[in-house]
Amino acid sequence: MVVRFLFFTGAFLIPFMIMLILEGIPLFLIELGMGQKMRLGALGVWNTIHPWLGGIGISSCIVTLFVAIYYNVIITWCFYYFFNSFRYPLPWAVCPQLNGTDVEECERSSETAYFWYRTTLDAAPSIDETGGFKWWIVLCLMLSWTVVFFIVMKGIQSSGKVVYFTSLFPYIVLTIFFIRGITLKGAGAGLMHMYTPKVEKLLEPTVWLDAATQVFYSFGLAFGSLIAFGSYNTPKNNCVRDVLLVSVCNAITAIYASVVIFAILGYKATLGVDRCIQV
């Protein structure tokens, strides 16, 4: 999802808001309302509507499995970077040296890119080579799945309490990054690029597709989770109010996160230009 924030230029905000109103809010309300009305999970809801629609519930569970695998890998990388952040100096702050000189590949790319590809991933030279067993990634992946297991092992009783942390902590981190990001050299250029409208981009279908995909991911639509959470609401709960509140908070959070990202991207771009000038 973070990668999709890169599409948040001035023109992208327009299709994002349109898709939010036409796609995100209605589907969010439908899923939350179905769960609240029938008090069932995704499988039960679709089977109750019609037995032939039971496959939709099964498909949503399969999609959720694939998304969980995908996001747990990202959490794995976060754990690895978190553990390495206690080292001084930071391993991605300087290029490794060979015979007293910096590694050429690191000099030609950057310290962060070299650490990502050659240390974190230890990427193989080609797709035909496996590259061997990366024990550090496996350990972090096991830790990631263990944490997720303890969060959901008691169902809504445990996951509902954890949500207080998982919902509020990212805002704290974003605020720290925001304060730090806007003070970096070139942050203004990044923000200017973000809010500079490129109206011609609206004619490209991929921009609208990216906006629709961003809405789907940010709301968690079609995963079955909204139906499951809605089933725990009381029958008289005002789900329309909940949908509007979550939609507004979601849109503000997306824009807030994009500001942080573009401020840092502006800094990286300025840093790259300065490095090229020095060379």
Q: Which letter, b or e, does each residue of 162-186 get, where b requires 16 or more Cβ atoms within 10 Å of its Cβ?
A: eeeeeeeeeeeebeebbeebbebeb
Residue 218 counted as an annotated binding residue: yes
Report whether 103 contacts 95 (CB < 8 A).
Answer: yes
Which ranges of 153-185 would DSSP assign to H, the alpha helix?
156-181
- Which 3 state secondary structure label does DSSP give 43? helix
Q: If you search the block for the tokens 């959470």, which residue do you land on? A: 229
CA atoms of 139 and 133, how far apart (whole Å): 11
3-class secondary structure per residue, 65-133: HHHHHHHHHHHHHHHHHHHHCCCCCCCCCCCCEECCEECHHHHHCCHHHHHHHHHHCCCCCCCCCCCCC
Q: Are 242 and 32 in contact (CB under 8 A)?
A: yes
Distance CA 43, CA 29 (A): 18
Q: 250 labelled as ligand-binding?
A: yes
- Residue numbers in the known binding site for Na(+) are 218, 250
- Residue numbers in the known binding site are 218, 250
